[in-house]
Structure 1
Amino acid sequence: MRRALHAGPWLRLARTQWAPLAALAVLTLLTAVLAVAVPAATAAGYDRDAAATVGTDSDLKVVGRAKGGGAVSAVPNEGALTANAFTWQQLLPGVLRNVTGPPEPSVTTSGTMGVAGEFPEPRNMNFDWEPGAEQRVGIVSGRPAMNRPSLNPGSAGQEIQVMVAERFATAMGYKAGTRLTLTEDGVPSPPVHVRITGLYAPLNPRDAYWRSRVTLLQSTERVIDREGTKAAFGTALTDNGGYTMLAGDASRSFTFTWRFPVRTGSVDTGRARTIAGDLDSYRTAVQGHAGLFACTVDTPLTGQLDAFLGRLRTAQSVLGMALAGLLAVAAGVLLLACGLLAERLRPFLGTMRARGASLRQLAGYVGGLTALAVVPAAAAGCGAGLLLDTGPPQRTSFIALAALILLLLALSGAAVLRERGGGLGSAGGARADLTAARPSARRLVLDVLLVVVAVAGVLVLRQRGQASGDDPLVAAVPVLLGAALGMLVLRGYPYLLRAAGPLLRRGCGAVWFVGLARASRQSVIGALPLVILLLAAAVAGFSATVDAALRHGQVRASYSVVGGDVRIASTGLDPSVVAKARAVKGVTAVVPARAVQQVTGPGEPAPIVAVGIDLDAYRKAFPGVPDVPDAANGQLVSPGAAGILESGDKTVTLSSHFVDPFPFRPTGKTDRFPGVDPGAAFVVVPYKTFGSSNFPTELFVRGDHIDVAALRKVLDEAAPKGAARDVQIRRDVLHGMTEVPMVHLVHRTFRNAALIGGVFGLLAVLLVLVVGARARGRTVAHLRVLGLHRRQSRVLALVEITPVLLCAVAAGWVLGLLLPEITGPVVDLRSYTSGFTATGHTPGLAAVLGLLAALLLAGAAALAVDRAFDRPDLGDVLRTGD
């Protein structure tokens, strides 16, 4: 009986307040799902970028070199080669050992060996002893190589047996039984006689093993001199005996490689951080290892991980700020729902207190109701978020969610403390108009403290700069700024309403005046949507601004790298190439340039690069290329070249073996120029500086839908025979920047954060409208008696919500636009733009239209709620005496 007695009030409260309890439960469920799923998806995006950065060609190699007898004495046979591989594997730190596969040892001749004979182009070949390759090939012709070295290895007349790939043999015209004579360039060694005993083909051409061993399967072309002469290059497989015979020549050098392939997909974000440090310790361990010739560690992992960690720090900073703002918006909506529930319960609590209920009993009732709505919904949301399987669950998600639940329960306790005075005074409650409320001294202190903390956070944040990464301070600063700005807006909001009141009183209608009066009579909880909408607009503005800056910065970076829509280059081009390139379909402009290397000034200081180009014509043809300033005489100097030449404003004479001496007097500076390596020392001079016999080495091409194949054909015809050729297409460079997984993650997260923040802001507006619909219905009913018709009541609904919407969204949007500038070096996007600085830009048309659409949806929500709660029968609303 006593239990039923105690459960009676609790059940009655739950039954009468089911609507706000259901709203609180639904909002908690949505927040929990997002709190689990969004950070997990972000972490999964980081892992995908780490795996893509490492890729499939990021082997870790221990490399050593030895000559002749020293090589054989250190590694005499396959057993010794395998034993050394085991030693290097044991030295691997734990994480490196986990992400790498079994070692793959190999021995290769270091020098270049030319094949004797008359061929259309030179032929080079080296020897490779790879025990692992022998297990991955099948003999298609002949037999395997089987060498039995004599007691005098390296003696004249010995013939070494080898195998070559079938594709390589077909291209070169070789077959089983073919004999070759090879001579090593630069080494006074006797010729090496070779007999091809067999042709092989890979058992599985798609095996990752062959990705770093292309020359074992086919011939390739290599440039073998400064004139650009190309030679066909291939590799011949031999065995332990063949290696011993080759090592009989004491002058012949060998490269020993123990390759540890990195397992595909094994590197994630956590391991990437650890590997960067492990590589340094592994290098030290390998270099300090005794008992073998000196070895070093060679791997592209260092550069790849540095690039990834740079992108990761930037992503964690900018996405952390956006996600923290989103979490603050969701938390604000939950607090609003909890506060509105407390307001609905206040008359009941006052009555129960007047009848003798203790504060502990009231706390049990209110806390039980809140927990009933929040705890099961949070648990269900966590389960749903885990079932979505968007990525690895993050511990911070559950910590933030638990803190939010405790905050909601604490807020319900604060609602009970208001009843400590007892009686029915709290049942009615005094009106708490924003325009009439006077803040207490305690609130003034808290407001000032909030502003001070926000400003201090910004100062600390700017001081830390790019090193902030996933520091919680980075994520907290925008929320603190939003809260401080919201407090200031709440301070100024009453004054705006007071100023508008006298103006509206002079109007001919009462709708605007009444609507503004009702807007000014919102309680503090009713004004909480202003802060929520402000934060939501700030998240959207920040996301749109950084997203636009990233897109625009990558476009500018692609122009800076290429210098135009297409850039073609060679060591020297026929002057007629300019006219031929202009005739290609889609080309609208062509600007020739010539890059001269090894240019020196007076006293022959360090060499620099001189770029001859018509600067005025280039700037006119390519106005979108950044960092190319104007110069009165068409001469620019880089900071590096200025330090070398030390000319200042004086004229100096520059010279080179390739061009006649010419005067140089810079009238402008530039940090970079297309086609020149970043950080290089260079000067820009007019194209005619190099004389009438000038020839271009580069063409900057502009146009839409250019026929690139035709351009390549023009380049082949104009370039010297055997010279290196290069064609860079701007859209391909841009595609390489934009298709990085981390870039997709940043764009997607910004879009989702803006959309989810907008949805929660609309939910906050809708929640306030629905909860206050009954009180508003009574006001409209009174006005109906005085002659207000339905159309005016709809206008009244819009007028009531307009001040909050405009003040909150305008202030939040401005804060979002300024956040990249306020946070300064934290929003550094150079890791996504090949080192090119991406400055802040205003959001695009889509973002502005999205903001306007959100405002229209809020207005539509006000009209929908007004229509849903419209009561045409005044007797249902007005009581006797009204």
Structure 2
Amino acid sequence: MMRRALHAGPWFRLARSQWAPLTALAVLTLVTALLAVAVPAATAAGYDRDATAAVGTDADLRVVGQAKGAGASSAVPNMGALTANAFTWQQLLPGSLRTVTGPPEASVALTNPQGIGGEFAQPRELALDWEPEADQRIRIVAGRPPVNEPPQGPGPSTPEIQVMVSQRYADAMGYKAGARLTLFDEDTPEPLHVRITGLYAPVNPRDTFWASRVSVLQPTERIVGREGTRVAHGTALMDAGGYTMIAAGSQRGFTFTWRFPVRTGAVDTGRARTIAADLDSYRAAVQGRPGLFACTVDTPLEGRLDAFLGRLRTARSVLGMALAALLAVGAGVLLLAAGLLGERLRPVLGTMRARGASLRQLARYAGGLTALAVVPAAAAGSAAGLLLDTGPPQASSFSAVAALAVVVLALSGAMVLRERGGGLGSAGGARRDDFTAARPSARRLVLDLLLVVVAVAGVVVLRQRGGASGGDPLVAAVPVLLGAALGMLVLRAYPYLLRAAAPLLRRGRGAVWFVGLARASRQSVIGALPLVILLLAAAVAGFSATVDAALRHGQVRASYSVVGGDVRAGSTGLDPGVVAKARAVKGVTAVVPARVVQQVTGPGEPAPITVVGIDLDAYRAAFPGVPGIPDAPHGQLVSPGAAGILDSGSKAVTLSSHYIDPFRFKPDATIERFPSMDTGSAFVVVPYKTFGSGNYPTELFVRGDHVDVAALRKVLDAAAPKGAPRDVQLRRDVLHGMTAVPMVDLVHRTFRNAALIGGGYGLLAVLLVLVVGARARGRTVAHLRVLGLNRRQSRALALVEIAPVLLCAVAAGWILGLLLPEITGPVVDLRSYTSGFTATGHTPGTAALLGLLAALLLAAAAALAVDRAFDRPALGDVLRTGD
């Protein structure tokens, strides 16, 4: 009995008759909810990955202080005092820093590395450290650990200090256990005598403890002095007694360090912002603590987190706009599906209203039917998005899903209100409600005007606030507002375009174009929604392609600006014959030499500047991709910093140095940046021949796609002075350093996915309109078949019907997407991804244009597929007697 009652009930009959649009609405809701949860979560996970990469594995927080001699031993007399201070610094840590850092690691080291007395092929120096944490991480391989006991009575003024060094350092330097060394400090007259009592090796060389203590395990090389002298550097470990003996017997300075290692992966996006704010408060707390020598906070976190937060602000701005527009596209498709369901229900609701049903009863059926499709699908989609585990769930995702469900349910209420007049007239058929016949009311005109005003106001406010907008909802809403406003304008112009085209098509011999355009104009107002959906989808694709191309192009230009060519090789002074030898290297197509001279002064000996001698004409011809090189008839350029120092204006000045003869300098133009020069530095560019016939290069700018870098290094080694530092920088390495940042990969991937998802939603909108209107179209085609319409003309008719909406929407949306970076202006600031180089707007590449064409062809193929699927209607089903 219950089953019979259920089957006879209006609920079941209504759901069974509308199963197709209900299924479509449920599937679209599920997919949209899944994407609304999974995509923001994946984006947030990408932000966290970039935060982790920005912090790195060698980040730490160090409290550093310095003291000398007896002042050091009185402030920190023993291990207990060192540990007590570590506990104090840890207690002062703010909660955000305490969460991401490990236990403190205390150490004491001589401030100045000590020169080792003796005759060596290369100067040597040795640092002396007291590392209490190292004892558990090393093993003695020869000799014994140092045991330093301060003398109890009168003893030598400089007692011998026992130390141990790593086995790798001892092998490289030729030392063994028992070796004695004499150390000298430039700030202290008396020497320091040490004896190596033991050699050690690390228990685990990969322990992160050694990341900041490389010289404790192996010899390193330091460059000291203005001449660039290379010194073999090493570190020896002593015990607490050794520290006490040195502090008591000399005035050597000590550096005390309490290091808090940052745990790998502990810093995510949320903590990064908090840490950046808490670092200042911790620095003030450390500096204000009495009872100890002055200490400061030293950490690479500040610079790394600042760089990360800059990338984050830009990513949230540009990706927020793309994702918000994508959400609007998904919402539009859901509304379209719900609207098409409403069109299917309209005759039924009209009939029920004519038979005396109240609006409450209609709302129960229409709202209940819509909720039956939407609510379970939204819950299932959200759950599926969580199960995918693409990243940390975002609260905004669930808010967006709930808002979409509410809007779709509200649309069912609008369906019911449309039937408040009652009667069968509301069931449709008595009144035309299409593009060309519908007349907008005064209220509609006011709402459209208000939409345009709000969109323009949003753009004005956005540009005034600039890059500080970050992830502000206003920034994300602007593309949607602009898209909606433009869609409204296109809808206004659409009927006039169709009417203008109709007289021209009437003159044709065939009826396909005329009939197709007539059917396109007879679409209902709910059929206008696909135009807005397609417009927003095309805007997302255009914006993504434009910003993505600008980012890629900007990074390439930035790499050229940093390196100056495909390869830059340099040393303190190269043999002039190196140019010809470098040109002979395999893969090299051009070489431009340059000479950089430091410490050049002008009249009155103001602050020194740097002079770069180079043939600008040859350089521009060889490297046209290097940006920012202005024309200079005389080859003389000046940076803003140098112009302020020289204060010459357009007058000529004389520049001189110990290394070059005086010469006259009169700038032709200003140059902001030049390869190998730091941004904002004071430098001038002059012709290479300025330095005379005896000139020698210090840098080579090399061009070539597949340069044999190993051979070029050999040429550089042979031409450089003995012991002089050599530098070879590859543009591809610099470019890889920019593109390998996780945030850059996230931006590229999100743009690609947004374009694909937006295109998929646009195609779904086209399919929905085609499938739902297939029955009415089948009736029209059946009439035309009687009049002689063949199958090929039927296919062409299907394309003509969809072409006006498709072309108008895609063209307007694509143009809007291309203009959005210029409209939003300072918000799309990509300098944090291009090493500070401005990445201006750039035309999308061939791949984006081919993708757009493929989307249009796919939509046309969908129209043909739907036409083929509904190609064989029975004439008895579509034609009445007398037709």
CA distance in 2 between counterparts of 1:752 and 1:241 reads: 63
CA distance in 2 between counterparts of 1:121 and 1:418 reads: 93
Shift of 1:8: 1.2
Query: Counterpart amino acid of 1:230?
Result: R
Q: The residue matched to 2:248 in structure 1 has which SS? A: coil
1:683 aligns with 2:706: no
Query: Counterpart amino acid of 1:664?
Result: F
Q: The residue matched to 1:139 in structure 2 has which SS? A: strand
CA distance in 1 between counterparts of 2:172 and 2:6 reads: 96
* Corresponding residue number in structure 1 for 2:277: 277
Q: The residue matched to 1:248 in structure 2 has which SS? A: helix
* Corresponding residue number in structure 2 for 1:514: 515
Aligned residue-pair number: 881
CA distance in 2 between counterparts of 1:639 and 1:151 reads: 65
Whether contact under 8 Å (1:124, 1:234) holds in the other structure is yes
* Corresponding residue number in structure 1 for 2:608: 607
Query: Counterpart amino acid of 2:671?
Result: T
Shift of 1:281: 0.3
Distance 1:194 1:365, change over 3 A: same
* Corresponding residue number in structure 1 for 2:373: 373
Q: The residue matched to 2:818 in structure 1 has which SS? A: helix
* Corresponding residue number in structure 1 for 2:268: 268
Shift of 1:382: 0.6
Q: How does 1:2-41 map to 2 (within 5 A)?
A: 4=5, 8-41=9-42
Query: Counterpart amino acid of 1:117?
Result: G
CA distance in 1 between counterparts of 2:718 and 2:292 reads: 52
Q: The residue matched to 2:188 in structure 1 has which SS? A: coil
Q: How does 1:422-571 map to 2 (within 5 A)?
A: 422-429=422-429, 430-571=431-572
CA distance in 1 between counterparts of 2:860 and 2:168 reads: 71
Q: The residue matched to 1:25 in structure 2 has which SS? A: helix
Q: How does 1:781-800 map to 2 (within 5 A)?
A: 781-800=782-801
CA distance in 2 between counterparts of 1:646 and 1:70 reads: 49
* Corresponding residue number in structure 2 for 1:353: 353
Q: The residue matched to 2:537 in structure 1 has which SS? A: helix
Give deviations 1:45-69, integer Å, cap 9, x for gaps.
Answer: 0000000000011111000000000
Shift of 1:152: 6.2
Give deviations 1:698-753, integer Å, cap 9, x for gaps.
Answer: 11111121111111111112112222221110000000000000000000000000
CA distance in 2 between counterparts of 1:446 and 1:86 reads: 65
Contiguous gaps of at least 5 residues in structure 1: none
Query: Counterpart amino acid of 2:58?
Result: D
CA distance in 1 between counterparts of 2:562 and 2:84 reads: 47
Shift of 1:5: 8.3
Q: The residue matched to 1:212 in structure 2 has which SS? A: coil
CA distance in 2 between counterparts of 1:539 and 1:7 reads: 48
Segment of structure 1 superposing worse, 691-700 or 402-411? 691-700
Give deviations 1:368-406, integer Å, cap 9, x for gaps.
Answer: 100000000011101110111000000000001101100
Give deviations 1:415-442, integer Å, cap 9, x for gaps.
Answer: 0001111111112341212112211000
* Corresponding residue number in structure 2 for 1:292: 292
Q: How does 1:375-394 map to 2 (within 5 A)?
A: 375-394=375-394
CA distance in 2 between counterparts of 1:880 and 1:89 reads: 93
Give deviations 1:234-259, integer Å, cap 9, x for gaps.
Answer: 01100000001111234200000000
* Corresponding residue number in structure 2 for 1:579: 580
* Corresponding residue number in structure 2 for 1:305: 305
* Corresponding residue number in structure 1 for 2:415: 415
* Corresponding residue number in structure 1 for 2:705: 704
Shift of 1:796: 0.5
1:56 aligns with 2:57: yes
Shift of 1:527: 1.2
Segment of structure 1 superposing worse, 509-518 or 249-258? 249-258
Query: Counterpart amino acid of 1:473?
Result: L
Whether contact under 8 Å (2:158, 2:249) holds in the other structure is no
Segment of structure 1 superposing worse, 863-872 or 232-241? 863-872
Q: TM-score under structure 2 normalisation? A: 0.99
Give deviations 1:485-508, integer Å, cap 9, x for gaps.
Answer: 000000000000000000000000
Distance 1:698 1:342, change over 3 A: same
CA distance in 2 between counterparts of 1:490 and 1:655 reads: 70
Whether contact under 8 Å (1:149, 1:245) holds in the other structure is yes
Shift of 1:576: 1.5
Whether contact under 8 Å (1:66, 1:293) holds in the other structure is yes
Give deviations 1:426-461, integer Å, cap 9, x for gaps.
Answer: 123412121122110000000000000000000000
* Corresponding residue number in structure 2 for 1:67: 68
Give deviations 1:583-610, integer Å, cap 9, x for gaps.
Answer: 1111111111111111111112221111
Query: Counterpart amino acid of 1:385?
Result: G
Query: Counterpart amino acid of 1:834?
Result: S
Contiguous gaps of at least 5 residues in structure 2: none
Q: Percent identity?
A: 82
Q: How does 1:660-739 map to 2 (within 5 A)?
A: 660-739=661-740
Query: Counterpart amino acid of 1:731?
Result: R
Distance 1:123 1:874, change over 3 A: same
CA distance in 1 between counterparts of 2:601 and 2:650 reads: 18
CA distance in 1 between counterparts of 2:874 and 2:215 reads: 90
Whether contact under 8 Å (2:56, 2:264) holds in the other structure is yes
CA distance in 1 between counterparts of 2:434 and 2:424 reads: 21
CA distance in 2 between counterparts of 1:334 and 1:154 reads: 91
Q: TM-score under structure 1 normalisation? A: 0.99
Shift of 1:7: 7.8
Moved beyond 4 Å, runs of 4+: 1-7
CA distance in 1 between counterparts of 2:217 and 2:413 reads: 75
Q: What root-mean-square deviation, in Å, do the aligned CA atoms of Structure 1 and Structure 2 show? A: 1.3
CA distance in 2 between counterparts of 1:224 and 1:395 reads: 54
Whether contact under 8 Å (1:62, 1:257) holds in the other structure is yes
Query: Counterpart amino acid of 1:30?
Result: V
Shift of 1:151: 3.6
Distance 1:54 1:62, change over 3 A: same
Distance 1:58 1:153, change over 3 A: farther
CA distance in 1 between counterparts of 2:585 and 2:187 reads: 45
Q: How does 1:166-205 map to 2 (within 5 A)?
A: 166-188=167-189, 190-205=190-205
Give deviations 1:165-200, integer Å, cap 9, x for gaps.
Answer: 011111111111111111112322x22111111110
Q: The residue matched to 1:191 in structure 2 has which SS? A: strand
Distance 1:598 1:75, change over 3 A: same
CA distance in 2 between counterparts of 1:740 and 1:575 reads: 39
CA distance in 2 between counterparts of 1:332 and 1:7 reads: 35
Distance 1:224 1:249, change over 3 A: farther
Q: How does 1:103-252 map to 2 (within 5 A)?
A: 103-151=104-152, 155-156=156-157, 158-188=159-189, 190-252=190-252
CA distance in 1 between counterparts of 2:417 and 2:493 reads: 29
Whether contact under 8 Å (2:187, 2:252) holds in the other structure is no
